[in-house]
Amino acid sequence: MIPLRELATVRTLRVAAIKAFRAVSRVLRAAPAGRRRAAGLVLSALLAAAGTAAAAEIVVVAHPDLPVDALSAGQLRNVFVGELTFVGRVKVLPVGYEDSSTMSDGFLRAVVGMDSRRYRVYWIKEVFHSGRVPPRMVQGVDEMLRIVATEPGAIGYVPAERLEGVSTLKRLYTVSVP
């Protein structure tokens, strides 16, 4: 798995791989049919592998006192848009990131169905129209881990590799993002 901070580089490499694939395809057109087919299959496999390698895992974590061991993507969406405010008898506290990043954009697109810009606009409207309380926002992963570990009902998301050795939080859901 590739660390999230390197995803921008991976995307750049993916674009370069596509350009290289196109260039090699032009060269192979002059080759005999059997070699073209074999080379094309190899290049397709390499390109597919490059796309697969770019996926990163984000884990949704919760305070250990939350009375469930897992939530579905739909339930998480409802938590992060303010429609699900209690799990059992525990009031949930969704926690997000202040700054837009590859990780937060990937999570919001995959689970909530919005990019970070639309999500911010959504919450501005919700605060004024319905009086809902937006998610608590943090600066980084370390602050996210601290808040989720100490605030009852807190639910947030972090890169999977940042959970190595962390056993105090509940892991509710895992999402792979490109």
Q: 66 and 48 in one domain?
A: no
Q: What is the pLDDT of residue 59?
A: 97
DSSP 97-118: ESS--HHHHHHIIIIISS-HHH
Residues of the chain with pLDDT under 70: 1-31, 33-54
Q: 123 and 62 in one domain?
A: yes
Q: 76 and 11 in one domain?
A: no
Domain holding 48, by residue range, is 4-53
Q: What is the pLDDT of residue 7?
A: 45
DSSP label at residue 167: -
DSSP 29-72: TTS-HHHHHHHHHHHHHHHHHHHHHT-EEEEEEE-TT-S-S---
Q: 159 and 82 in one domain?
A: yes
Q: 139 and 91 in one domain?
A: yes
Q: 22 and 88 in one domain?
A: no
Domain stop point among 17, 38, 53? 53
Q: 146 and 65 in one domain?
A: yes
How many folded domains does the chain comprise? 2
Q: 69 and 146 in one domain?
A: yes
Q: 66 and 140 in one domain?
A: yes
Contact 83, 75 (CB under 8 A): no
Domain stop point among 33, 53, 73? 53
What are the Cα distances from residue 111, in Å, to 35, 72, 99, 152? 44, 9, 18, 22
CA–CA dist 25, 19 (Å, integer): 10
Q: What is the pLDDT of residue 20?
A: 63
Q: Tell me, what CATH number does 151's domain have?
A: 3.40.190.10
Q: 44 and 66 in one domain?
A: no
Q: 99 and 39 in one domain?
A: no
Q: Enter the pTM of the model.
A: 0.70
Q: What is the pLDDT of residue 100?
A: 83
Q: What is the pLDDT of residue 2?
A: 42
Q: 86 and 21 in one domain?
A: no
pLDDT per residue over 106-144, tens digit each?
A: 999 999 999 999 999 999 999 999 999 999 999 999 999
